[in-house]
Chains A and B, each alone.
Chain A
Amino acid sequence: MRRRRVRWRGAVAAALVLAVAGVWNRSAALVLGAAIPLVFVAYGTLSTVDSPDDLAVARTVDPTPAPPGRPVTVTLTATNEGERTLSDLRLVDGVPDDLQVVGGSPRAGATLDPEETCAVEYTVVARRGEYDFAPPRARLRSAGAGMVATTELSPSGDERLVCRLDADAPPLAERGDDFVGRLTADRPGRGVQFHSTREYRHGDAADRIDWRGYAQRGELATVEYERWVSTTVVVVLDARDRNRVAAGPGRPTAVERSAYAAVRTVTALLRAGHDVGLAVVGRTAKGPGGLDWIEPGAGSDHRSRLTARVEHAVEYDVDTPVDATYQFRKVAELAGPRTQLLLVSPLLDEQPVEAVETWGALGRERTVLSPDVVSATTVGGRLDGVERRTRLARCQSTGARTVDWRRGTPLALALEYALAVEARRSAGTAGGGA
């Protein structure tokens, strides 16, 4: 679509003023000067522009699929495949309305010589769901900026950002966990982390014999590795309405981030050989006592069930009153005394802290994993942040292990630090934070 823009009415007025002043002053210079604005007017009127048909556009979205809260880089490149210079190209990418641009700009202005390329790079924060990008719009102007041609382009490459809770999570059957720089050590006495050596006993595997020590001292010894302790864990997802808040427009809600943390935790625990169950607090379901509950179990199918239930909890948006205190108490009843409870909550109010205290009074092992969704750029947000950290400290003072998942810290690192220590604890030291 091409249209002409009026830019030079002031120049016509200037020409008239100068002409009249020239006559008034009887000045030839002014009369001649009156022609100068008309040169510009003619320049603006006569310069034209064609539609940008020779513009090739490609878009990349990296990474996709992405977990909620993950910054995603979108790059739009435009190449002038024609033979004429595009003197004034303005390019605007069609960012989905629900996504927030947090870095860079989806717009660009450039002058493109033939075969030259310009790139628009910006960052959005992923939110759970699938988001289609609208076609980018290109606008070309003539050299005098008097004519404008606008068109929608069809980019090659990615057209969609997919954000899933189980993004980045490897399949359960693969060897190795998703903790950085370490392989699994899922059998007692076997693994890679050295613990100690002991006297060789008949039947010990040959690959566990300390051959170097045998060469030095002539005595057979068996290497002991640190052992993983298999246990039963129930992940408690705090999905109450109170937590359906975000740090800013276009950001994932606290429930979305908690759900992502829950899925990653479930995956990590299952791959470490634990039995994992799930309880969702904040919604009414058909489980025991109205609780959304999955019994602890193991295996790929079980993980799929857990993930689907967490997804369902995020989508659940029914405004019905739920007695969260009762549900938290019910979790402890259902889980049993030997089961560890892992609460995933943003700790935006006191109820989860009271639940942790109650579980502590019942003698349950507890871990609190808290995603940080509080904005630190406002006074109110800072106050909320102080209150949240105070709640974390209160949880810790009751003997619970706490994991503060700050924004910008990969969840894998936080989980590695917390869960690995938990699994390896030989003595039952209570409490601790990460």
Chain B
Amino acid sequence: MPFGPRLDRPSAVGDEGRPRETSLGLVAATVVGLAVATGFAVGQPTFLTGLGLVAGLATAGVALLDRDALGEKVIGHLLFLPGATFLGLLVALTPGNPYLVGGYALALLGTAAAWADVADDDTLESALSQGIRSYVFGLVWLFGAVIAVAAGFLGWRLVDSTVAAETPTVAAIGFLLVLGAVLGAVRLSLTALPVVQLSPRTRRDAVRARLERGKQALSLLAAVAVGVGLLSLIFTATDSPALALVPGATPTVEALTSTFVVGPLLAVGGLALLSAGVAVAARQVTQRYDERKTETVAAGAAGGGYLVVVLFGVVPQAAGLLVFSPFLLIAGVLLAPIAALTAVGFAVVAVRIDLFPERAGGPALAAAGLVLAAVGADSMGLPAPLVFATVAGALVVWDAGSFGLGLTAELGHRPDTRRLELYHGVFAVGIGAAAVLGATALYAVRTTTGGGHALAMTAAVVGTLLLGALLRG
């Protein structure tokens, strides 16, 4: 396979619609070549090629979301929405003509979509619905994380005040609340851990009964500790010295609230929560889901992944680039994915209303992007031959790409058709080159003769329209 591994597989795609590597190799070479040439023309060779990586990752995400396995779907989520969002931000933030940058982004997306064969409405709609779900789950994870951080902060303050408290009453209340929380955590972990399943089969009934009794005892103890602690808060509102009056209570409370006791207690609670979380996660991962539940679980897992990406990827980068502004960051993180999802929604509508052909959506998108890029290149004042080459490139991309995809639709992916594709591709490139040379020559003649009359331009446009109407494609 000369152009690297492909994301589609015969089992997933079937005989029909599998892209042809020679034709699509020509398409990719054309798009990347034009992007590099444009980069040289504006003085930054990597001006546009950076978009290619992000576009490829986002498209790979769409392809992976079309798979059935949970792991592939999770990775698909982590590539699709962050990739699409990042691509949109890159297009918005890259200096230069927006038509040029946006056009090349579309061209690269279209090329990648043609390779992965994901430009049909079913795949896009599936990616859109799953992307929306994962975005919602991401919000849930974000709010959950905020609540967890707040709870952790409050807990830390409670422990800190307990250890550092001067009055024994306050220290005892803090200790009781900490004890209640730890007992509650252990109670939770007993529910989640597979204690019964790991015990010998002959002793399971006995273990189950003992476990039930243990859970009840833990629940009762936790409730008593928290209840007594909360009730004792009354003493803090009065001037009563309370516990200080009880002989020997002060040194006992001091001993109980020392770091040597509270520390291990917290460690036990933390360990219990951690083991419960691991057990629940292991259960979820090893379960067999139907298609719908797989999508939901994958979206849920990906929502947590987004949080990790934002915390460890976006925030340090934003801080490092000195554009860190919490409001800007939150707006970017929360609103940019919505914009990306909206763009995908428009793509679905475009395919549905046959604005793009379903079988050759990728090449059509790439060609449309190059036409847009040609308009942008002209607006930036780039050399006319480059504008002509970009237009011709759009036609070559469409011709070779749609030919290759049609070939597989007709013959399947097994026959070797490289020679046939090359023969067609050489003709397409030859005609494009001849057209570019002709247009460049005409442009040179016009420049040397100082043309540019409005009448001549109008005549050319009218001629173009007439010819287009006559030929009609």
Q: Is A11 an interface residue (CB 8 A)?
A: yes
Q: Is B341 an interface residue (CB 8 A)?
A: no
Contact A16 B468 (CB under 8 A): yes
What per-residue 1/0 map shows which CB atoms of A143-172 lie under 8 Å from chain B? Answer: 111000000000000000000000000000
Assuming A23-B461, A45-B471, A108-B411, is B431 touching A30 (CB within 8 A)?
no
CB distance from B392 to the nearest CB of A (A): 5
Contact B473 A6 (CB under 8 A): yes
Contact A111 B371 (CB under 8 A): no
Which of B85-93, B298-306, B394-402 binds A?
B394-402
Q: Is B472 an interface residue (CB 8 A)?
A: yes
Contact of A19 among B364, B398, B402, B464 (CB under 8 A): B464
Contact A40 B431 (CB under 8 A): yes
CB distance from B409 to the nearest CB of A (A): 11
Contact of B471 among A12, A104, A107, A110 (CB under 8 A): A12
CB contacts under 8 Å to A, within B242-260, are none
Contact A145 B424 (CB under 8 A): yes
What per-residue 1/0 map shows which CB atoms of B435-473 lie under 8 Å from chain A? Answer: 110110011001000011000011011001101100111
Instruction: Determine the distance from Cα of A110 to Cα of B421 in the docked complex, in whole angstroms.
Output: 9
Q: Is A191 an interface residue (CB 8 A)?
A: no
Contact B395 A14 (CB under 8 A): yes
Which of A31-39, A228-236, A278-286 binds B?
A31-39
What per-residue 1/0 map shows which CB atoms of B335-351 lie under 8 Å from chain A? Answer: 00000000000000000
Assuming A11-B473, A35-B439, is B411 touching A109 (CB within 8 A)?
yes
- Nearest CB in chain B to that of A47: its residue: B427
Instruction: Determine the distance from Cα of A92 to Cα of B424 in the docked complex, in whole angstroms.
Output: 20
Q: State the interface size on chain B (CB cutoff 8 A).
A: 56
Instruction: Determine the distance from Cα of A22 to Cα of B454 in the docked complex, in whole angstroms.
Output: 12
- Which residues of chain B are within 8 angstroms of A36 by Cβ–Cβ distance? 388, 391-392, 395, 432, 435-436, 439
- Which residues of chain B are within 8 angstroms of A45 by Cβ–Cβ distance? 471
Which of B115-123, B124-132, B372-380 binds A?
B372-380
Assuming A41-B473, A107-B412, is B403 touching A22 (CB within 8 A)?
no
Among A36, A41, A87, A107, residue most surrounded by chain B Cβ atoms (within 10 Å): A36
Q: Is B387 an interface residue (CB 8 A)?
A: yes
Instruction: Determine the distance from Cα of A17 to Cα of B368 in the docked complex, in whole angstroms.
Output: 10
Q: Is B423 an interface residue (CB 8 A)?
A: yes
CB distance from A402 to the nearest CB of B (A): 36
Assuming A31-B460, A33-B374, A105-B411, is B398 touching A11 (CB within 8 A)?
yes
CB contacts under 8 Å to B, within A92-109, are 92, 104-105, 107-109
Classify chain A's interface size.
35 or more
- Which residues of chain B are within 8 angstroms of A18 by Cβ–Cβ distance? 371, 374-375, 391
CB contacts under 8 Å to A, within B136-168, are none
- Which residues of chain B are within 8 angstroms of A19 by Cβ–Cβ distance? 460-461, 464-465
- Which residues of chain A are within 8 angstroms of B292 by Cβ–Cβ distance? none
Contact of B378 among A8, A27, A143 (CB under 8 A): A27
Among A22, A25, A31, A145, residue most surrounded by chain B Cβ atoms (within 10 Å): A31
Q: Is B34 an interface residue (CB 8 A)?
A: no
- Nearest CB in chain B to that of A23: its residue: B461
Q: Is B407 an interface residue (CB 8 A)?
A: yes
Contact B464 A14 (CB under 8 A): no
Contact of A29 among B403, B410, B438, B443 (CB under 8 A): B443
Instruction: Determine the distance from Cα of A44 to Cα of B395 in the docked complex, in whole angstroms.
Output: 12
Q: Is A362 an interface residue (CB 8 A)?
A: no
- Which residues of chain A are within 8 angstroms of B9 by Cβ–Cβ distance? none
- Which residues of chain A are within 8 angstroms of B431 by Cβ–Cβ distance? 39-40, 43
- Which residues of chain A are within 8 angstroms of B415 by Cβ–Cβ distance? 105, 107-109, 120
Contact B446 A16 (CB under 8 A): no
Instruction: Determine the distance from Cα of A39 to Cα of B417 in the docked complex, in whole angstroms.
Output: 26
Contact A110 B420 (CB under 8 A): yes
- Which residues of chain B are within 8 angstroms of A34 by Cβ–Cβ distance? 460-461, 464
- Which residues of chain B are within 8 angstroms of A105 by Cβ–Cβ distance? 411-412, 414-415
Contact A8 B473 (CB under 8 A): yes
Instruction: Determine the distance from Cα of A16 to Cα of B469 in the docked complex, in whole angstroms.
Output: 10
Instruction: Determine the distance from Cα of A45 to Cα of B432 in the docked complex, in whole angstroms.
Output: 16
Q: Is A412 an interface residue (CB 8 A)?
A: no
- Nearest CB in chain A to that of B458: its residue: A23
Assuming A11-B398, A32-B460, A110-B419, is B411 touching A38 (CB within 8 A)?
no
Contact A10 B374 (CB under 8 A): no
Q: Is B384 an interface residue (CB 8 A)?
A: yes
Q: Is B185 an interface residue (CB 8 A)?
A: no
CB distance from B362 to the nearest CB of A (A): 13
Contact A33 B387 (CB under 8 A): yes
Contact A25 B379 (CB under 8 A): yes
Q: Is A187 an interface residue (CB 8 A)?
A: no
Among B384, B460, B465, B473, residue most surrounded by chain A Cβ atoms (within 10 Å): B473
Q: Is B367 an interface residue (CB 8 A)?
A: yes
Contact of B457 among A10, A21, A31 (CB under 8 A): A31
- Nearest CB in chain A to that of B451: its residue: A28
Assuming A40-B399, A109-B417, is B427 touching A143 (CB within 8 A)?
yes
Contact A38 B378 (CB under 8 A): no
Instruction: Determine the distance from Cα of A423 to Cα of B388 in the docked complex, in whole angstroms.
Output: 85
Q: Is A259 an interface residue (CB 8 A)?
A: no
CB distance from A138 to the nearest CB of B (A): 12
Contact B461 A31 (CB under 8 A): yes
- Which residues of chain B are within 8 angstroms of A38 by Cβ–Cβ distance? 464, 467-468, 471
Instruction: Determine the distance from Cα of A87 to Cα of B472 in the docked complex, in whole angstroms.
Output: 24
- Which residues of chain B are within 8 angstroms of A23 by Cβ–Cβ distance? 457-458, 461
Q: Is A42 an interface residue (CB 8 A)?
A: yes
Contact A33 B423 (CB under 8 A): no
Instruction: Determine the distance from Cα of A143 to Cα of B414 in the docked complex, in whole angstroms.
Output: 23
CB distance from A181 to the nearest CB of B (A): 38
Contact of B468 among A12, A22, A26 (CB under 8 A): A12
* 12 A-B pairs in the complex with CB atoms less than 8 angstroms apart: A7-B402, A11-B395, A22-B378, A27-B378, A31-B457, A40-B395, A41-B473, A104-B414, A105-B412, A109-B411, A109-B415, A110-B417
Interface residues of B (CB under 8 A from A): 364, 367-368, 371, 374-375, 378-379, 384, 387-388, 391-392, 394-395, 398-399, 402-403, 406-407, 410-412, 414-415, 417, 419-420, 423-424, 427-428, 431-432, 434-436, 438-439, 442-443, 446, 451-452, 457-458, 460-461, 464-465, 467-468, 471-473
* Extra A-B contacts (20), CB below 8 Å, given A30-B374, A34-B464: A7-B473, A10-B367, A12-B472, A12-B473, A14-B394, A22-B378, A23-B457, A28-B446, A29-B388, A31-B464, A32-B384, A32-B446, A36-B391, A37-B391, A39-B438, A40-B428, A87-B424, A88-B420, A109-B410, A109-B417
